[in-house]
Amino acid sequence: MKIDNNIKIPTKWHALKNIWKGEEEIVRLGLPHQQLAPTWQILLLGDGSPTRHLQLLTGEPTEVDVIDMSEIGMDDDDAPIQIQKVPQPRLRRQVWLRTASGQRLAYAASWWDATHVDEYLQNRSLPIWESLSRLHTELYRDIQGIYYGDNEILESAFGESGPFWGRHYLFWHNRKPLTLIYEVFSPYLRKYLGPTSLSQK
């Protein structure tokens, strides 16, 4: 499938149309390997940085294309319910995570306290992990949900057919929620991680 590089700037974010989803308890226990292979579980359910993981997998720096920075005020934006933990007014950021050579690997939407976002994203074109690492910000990645579903815009953007795996989590800093992040990963990562489930072997 061909990658579409002419995607319009979004006014909404790209949630999956869920075929299946798991809440916090499923995240804690993990999934059967027939449903999601161990390598993919490390990426999706582990608490490490996805941008760092993608760089280690591909051997290339992970770069960010910022496609949206929207003030959404008091709106919940159809985001996961944990958005209520992020102080208002809010700002929504959307990005593609890609290799330096241009291969899109993931999509992410994040919601921030609009009055403090510039403290943490001083260079908005950097991956969140890199921005916060430069500030030596101590963080806790609190994964709240995992998803398996479809999205036509992401199919075009990735140049890959769905369904896709995604997740959402809160970043905590000083015992307070810093941001809510929703991520979807491209099936292209099978090149490095193998099939998404052991039943596909």
Q: How far apart are CA 1 and CA 13, in angstroms?
A: 22
Phi (first) and psi of residue 160, to 5 degrees: -135, 145
Q: How far apart are CA 48 and CA 163, in angstroms?
A: 24
Banded model confidence at residue 126, pLDDT cuts 50, 70, 90: low
Q: Which two tokens stand for residue 129?
A: 């992990």
Phi (first) and psi of residue 155, to 5 degrees: -55, -45
Banded model confidence at residue 111, pLDDT cuts 50, 70, 90: very high
Residue boundaries of the structural domains of the chain: 25-71+84-194
pTM: 0.86
CATH number of 25-71+84-194: 3.40.1410.10
- At 163-197, the pLDDT tens digits run 999 999 998 877 788 889 999 999 999 999 999 98
pLDDT at 114: 83
Percent of the chain with pLDDT over 90: 59
Q: How far apart are CA 95 and CA 127, in angstroms?
A: 9
Residue 90 has a CB neighbour count (10 Å cut-off) of: 24
